[in-house]
Amino acid sequence: MSIKVALAVAPENALMSAFVVFRDKLEHSMLKAAKLGFDGVELALLSKDQVDLPSVKNLIKQTGLEIPMISTGQIFADTGVNFTHPEKEKREKALKDFLGLMEVASELGSLINIGRLRGTLNEGSPSLDYFNEYMGRALERASALGVTIALEPVNRYEINFLNSCEDTAEVIRNLDSPYLKMMPDVFHMNIEDPSIEGSLMKYADLVAYVHFADSNRWAPGRGHLDFLSIINALKLSAFEGYVSLEMLPFPEPDTAAAEGINTIRKYL
């Protein structure tokens, strides 16, 4: 398996906060992605009810695309529930919704991510204990379903916990589960990591999936990140898996998707 390229998409009723190019019926998005030359699509979902699994499996056969990742950021964005919320009811809802999407991931052979859904650390609160408890429960289910969770470092302006690859790697190693890996995002790494290439190579044993967007969240090539250097670092670290374009649909969706895949293919 070499490096493959996915495009993050969402259902037509997705929140505006979802960083996706196509916000449309899945059939339309997958057909467009296949025509542009993507290998897969990442599904940004709020709940398992948004997915008609038989239909998605038929689309996979029809297009030849894979569904390498189920992303879960909309669970947090929609209601603010998360694994460290001070209210137990909110923590339980976060886990319930996450486990529902994990069932979708299991059916589709996908990874599943945890970004802001993990929550924040609050001074004087047992929030770190909450995080460990709910991550432990999620990993138990991941083991039963055979699904890998990809923990995403997120920059300090969006969350106060696990901002860098170094921070995230330490937590992953402490939790010590074969079903927990890392999903670096070069947009966040540009803020938090001393070297994007250095971190990708240093933590290569943990990296299972990578989010791509340029420094301004536009398509690769529209900002100042050096994607040739980043891709070469992934190659040198023997990365085999997906890089996924999780970016803003600017200047408009079709142009963003085409520019993104053309830039990355050039370097691959």
Choose the catalytic residue: 107, 197, 246, 259: 246
Choose the catalytic residue: 107, 152, 197, 259: 152
Which residue do the tokens 């990140």 mark? 225
Q: Nearest CA to 227 among 267, 168, 179, 193?
A: 267
What contacts 128, CB < 8 A, 6 or more positions away? 84, 121
Q: What is the 3-state secondary structure (H, E, C) of 99-144?
A: HHHHHHHHHHCCEEEECHHHCCCCCCCCHHHHHHHHHHHHHHHHHH
What contacts 131, CB < 8 A, 6 or more positions away? 83, 84, 118, 119, 121, 161
**Cβ atoms 196, 257 nearer than 8 A:** no
The one-letter code for the residue type at 236 is L
Q: Is 152 a residue of the active site? A: yes
What's the N-to-C CA distance of the chain in angstroms?
13
Q: Is 246 a residue of the active site? A: yes
Which helix (DSSP H) or strand (DSSP E) does residue 145 occupy? helix 127-145
Q: Residues with catalytic annotation?
A: 152, 246
